[in-house]
Amino acid sequence: MISNTIISYSVLTLGWLGTVLFIISYIQLNRGVWTLHDTKFHVYNILGSIFLVIDTVYDFSYAAAAANLFWGIVACYGLVKFRNEGRKSREGITESKKPNLV
């Protein structure tokens, strides 16, 4: 059986990793390296949210877990929204490059 100490340190490590992912995504966004249209930005936020939800639920900090869960839901929404916009814009470009045969 896995000891409680190993589980505790594993969950703590996930929490710190989630924090680091949030910070990296925020710094990269503010530096202009990433934009809201970059998949990396949203993936870092989604993973950060998941890791922090695990950590905060383990610590019985349900208010923080709810905030992190909401953060992840917003990141998922952003990822889907910008990927769909990108797909529509690529389809529009493809359509506009077709020769006009009329």
- Tell me the per-residue pLDDT of 7-64, one tens digit each, with 9 for 90 and over: 999 999 999 999 999 999 999 999 999 999 999 999 999 999 999 999 999 999 999 9
User: What are the structure tokens assigned to 80, written together?
Assistant: 């889907």
**What local confidence, expressed as pLDDT, does residue 88 receive?**
82
Q: Which uninterrupted H or E stretch holds 48? A: helix 39-58
Higher pLDDT residue, 70 or 93? 70
Residues 87 and 63: their CA atoms lie apart, in Å, by 36
Inform me whether the pLDDT recorded for 92 exceeds 80.
no
Domain boundaries, the chain: 4-97
Question: Which pTM does this prediction carry?
Answer: 0.83
Q: Which of 25, 41, 31, 24 is nearest to 82 (CA)?
A: 41
Give residue 96's pLDDT band: very low, low, confident or very high (50, 70, 90).
low
Give residue 102's pLDDT band: very low, low, confident or very high (50, 70, 90).
low
